[in-house]
Structure 1
Amino acid sequence: MKLTYQTGKDDKAHYLYIKGDLIGDEVGPKLVEVVSDAIQEGAKTFVIDLSEVRYISSSGIGLLITMLTKMRNVDGEVYLTSPSDHVKKLLIITKLNNIFTVFDSIEDFRNQ
């Protein structure tokens, strides 16, 4: 399934809503650019909504880590929200659940 995405922001964070399979294809650099643009705007909090992501490849994992590294380099943070059970298992297997803070929903993030 081709990856599409939307962005948004409010007073708490910049948001990236990903839909499809996160496999680090030609959309990958654009996603990193979204984070870079947010940093340019002074963002310190970036939320990636995974509710519509069915599959993440190793390249997709690399993308997430690249985005996290970029944010942490400016003392920012990336949060993941709404992973499917399949994606949740992947985060646990790869130990990414220890690196990223994961929320069950965007509402949970906003209410923290």
Structure 2
Amino acid sequence: MTLTQELQVLLFKPQGSIDVEGGMALSEQMAEISPQPHQIWVIDLAEVDFMDSSGLVSLVKGLTFARQSNCRLVLCNVQTPVRLILELTQLDSVFEIFDTYEDVLTLVNDQNLALAS
């Protein structure tokens, strides 16, 4: 799993499956973060081809932690099998989902321009 930080964007890139093991790794990585207000946490799911209920729990815990820290958590590059799980559990209406990481960066840049005006 890769973690990258740019300005106010924190990028998580899990790989493979987000199951018990992968979910715990993602949760541990998010718990180690020292959140800064107004950060955007991006979970890039481009390399995730499977997610089970344990993975869903780690995503929901991450969302809760981000919101409590006055941060925003979004998902991007959600692959079809994972998207189906999110839709079946109706979590697709809870998470902000972007098609690509570039779309997230566009949002961030647009918000910075709006704040600077």
TM-score, L = length of structure 1: 0.86
How far did residue 68 of structure 1 move?
0.7
**Aligned residue type for 1:65:** V
Q: Distance in 1 between matches of 2:17 and 2:46?
A: 11
Is contact 1:15-1:46 (8 Å) kept?
yes
- Structure 1 unmatched runs, 5+: none
Match of 2:70 in 1: 75
Q: Distance in 2 between matches of 1:28 and 1:90?
A: 15
Is contact 2:16-2:49 (8 Å) kept?
yes
- Structure 2 unmatched runs, 5+: 108-117
Q: Which has the higher helix share?
A: 2
**Aligned residue type for 1:81:** C
Q: 101-110 or 82-91: which moved more?
A: 82-91
1:35 is aligned, of 18, 30, 39, to: 30
Q: Distance in 1 between matches of 2:94 and 2:17?
A: 21
2:20 is aligned, of 21, 24, 28, to: 24
Cα distance change of structure 1 residues 28 and 105 upon mapping to structure 2, 3 Å threshold = same
> What is the aligned residue count?
106
**Aligned residue type for 2:90:** K
For the pair 1:111 / 2:106, whether they are aligned, the reply is: yes
Match of 1:55 in 2: 50
How far did residue 92 of structure 1 move?
1.0
Is contact 2:43-2:73 (8 Å) kept?
yes
How far did residue 41 of structure 1 move?
4.6
**Identity rate of aligned residues, in percent?**
25
TM-score, L = length of structure 2: 0.83
Match of 2:112 in 1: none
**Aligned residue type for 1:87:** V
SS of the counterpart of 1:72? Answer: helix
Output one character per residue of 1:15-60: Cα deviation in whole Å (capped at 9) or x when no partner.
10011010022x433322322232x152631100001101100011
Q: 83-92 or 41-50: which moved more?
A: 41-50
